[in-house]
Amino acid sequence: MKVAFNKPPNTGNEERYVLEAIKSEKISGNGKFTQKCENWFEKSLNCQKTLLTPSCTHALEMAAILLDIKEGDEIIMPSYTFVSTANAFVLRGATIVFVDIRPDTMNIDETKIAKAITKKTKVIVPVHYAGVACEMDTIMALAKKYGLYVVEDAAQAIMSFYKGKALGTIGHLGAFSFHETKNITSAGEGGLLIINDVRFVKRAEIIREKGTNRTQFFRGEVDKYSWVDIGSSYLLNDVSAAYLWGQLEKIEDIQKDRLNSWNIYFEGLKNLQKDRCVELPNIPKECTNNAHMFYIKVKDLQTRTDIIEHLKRHGINVVFHYVPLHSSLGAEKFARFEDKEVYTTKESDRLLRLPMFYGLEQKHRDAVILAIWKFFNEA
């Protein structure tokens, strides 16, 4: 038996919409399907404005441009994240300041942020790991007190909520990813910039259109378009948007299926947690679970290496996750760690992600659970 770690979601409608886009002979950015998707997001997230982008990385880069990040600015974020969270701001010349994570959620420890704030601090970037929210009330209060912006890296957080608010819509700006490893995808790569502060809407449209007011021109608001600001090509093509539209129509099914797999893993492994062999994910009561990921934490790095080997022998593909950014070469040039690093390395070394995707079969989930039990019974 072979159990894949991930399969890109495909619900059946995507092909039809992709074909429709191709036949329309209008497949560049900001087309019909882009509009449909953006309208859907604005309604269902209840937010001011959304813009589809070629990736979450691009959406984060747009956020850094919109906030006028420049050399010397400091940006606060966890070290336990994807490289793009940092690079989007480093590209504008900023210095990254890492803050330790909480072991219970793997999210930035909100109680350690205040100490990291200096006169140079411009932005806090909470990363909602595994789609479980950071402590946003505390983070927003800090931002207000010190006059900072908040950009949510909500790459993994679609359809997840904090005190009833959709993740990505709480900070000034937010970003989703539609990479093939995320809950929904726009044909492999894609992203969304979420704009919650109306002051940014007009300029965001210009930045996405290479620094021109072409979007306004197409709406008939100006009679010709020209160069007005800095920008780049941050548009998603409409064929990819068509694929995404097929997924949005089926998003309830996708979420339900993932959540079902998540619950089955949890039930199947919870007695191992009682025996203290593993730790299972924790969902704080003000947060929802979008089942982006199912991870377990084992005793230490050696145990994790052993269990990955063991599961591989059973045909099961599991992976660890981020190598903390502060331990990388890039961090020597662009970042520093605020205060003591207590949990970031220790907790990330113990973490293991189980197969999780739309359409994961029952027999495969059972095989994963059984193989994990076997590992600990043999130990």
Ligand X SMILES: *Cc1c(COP(=O)(O)O)cnc(C)c1O
Q: What residues make contact with ligand X under the rule CB under 6 A?
A: 55-57, 81-82, 84-85, 127, 153, 155-156, 177, 179, 191
Please state the closest distance from residue 176 (CB atom) to ligand X, in A: 8
Please state the closest distance from residue 139 (CB atom) to ligand X, in A: 16
User: Among residues 258 and 364, whose Cβ is nearest to ligand X?
Assistant: 258
User: Among residues 154 and 195, whose Cβ is nearest to ligand X?
Assistant: 154
Please state the closest distance from residue 311 (CB atom) to ligand X, in A: 22
Find the Cα–Cα–Cα–Cα dihedral 76, 82, 88, 92, rounded to 10°.
60
Please state the closest distance from residue 156 (CB atom) to ligand X, in A: 5
Which H or E run includes 379? none
What SS3 class is residue 49?
Answer: strand
What SS3 class is residue 211?
Answer: coil
CB contact at 8 A, 354 and 368: yes
What SS3 class is residue 337?
Answer: strand
User: Among residues 81 and 290, whose Cβ is nearest to ligand X?
Assistant: 81
Please state the closest distance from residue 322 (CB atom) to ligand X, in A: 8
Question: What is the gyration radius of the CA atoms in the chain, in angstroms?
Answer: 21
- Per-residue tokens: 273: 């947690």
Please report where in the chains the tokens 């290496």 appear, as a residue: 305
- 56: Cβ contacts below 8 Å, ≥ 6 apart: 84, 153, 155, 175, 176, 177, 178, 179, 191, 192
Residue 51's nearest CA partner among 185, 196, 152 is 196
User: Among residues 183 and 213, whose Cβ is nearest to ligand X?
Assistant: 183
- Per-residue tokens: 303: 């145990």
Please state the closest distance from residue 186 (CB atom) to ligand X, in A: 9
What SS3 class is residue 174?
Answer: strand
Please state the closest distance from residue 160 (CB atom) to ligand X, in A: 13
The CA distance from 164 to 136, in Å, is 12
Please state the closest distance from residue 59 (CB atom) to ligand X, in A: 8
Which H or E run includes 37? helix 32-45
The sign of the CA dihedral 245, 168, 232, 66 is positive
CB contact at 8 A, 161 and 167: yes
User: Among residues 3 and 62, whose Cβ is nearest to ligand X?
Assistant: 62
User: Among residues 59 and 67, whose Cβ is nearest to ligand X?
Assistant: 59
User: Among residues 240 and 288, whose Cβ is nearest to ligand X?
Assistant: 240
Q: CA angle, corner 89, sides to 84 and 93, nearest 5? A: 135
Please report where in the chains the tokens 């197409």 appear, as a residue: 218
CB contact at 8 A, 370 and 1: no
On the 0-12 / 13-18 / 19+ scale of CB atoms within 10 A, 340 is exposed
Return the number of other C-beta atoms located less than 10 Å from residue 140's C-beta: 17
Please state the closest distance from residue 262 (CB atom) to ligand X, in A: 17
User: Among residues 82 and 337, whose Cβ is nearest to ligand X?
Assistant: 82
User: Among residues 81 and 213, whose Cβ is nearest to ligand X?
Assistant: 81
User: Among residues 31 and 191, whose Cβ is nearest to ligand X?
Assistant: 191
- 43: Cβ contacts below 8 Å, ≥ 6 apart: none
Please state the closest distance from residue 213 (CB atom) to ligand X, in A: 26
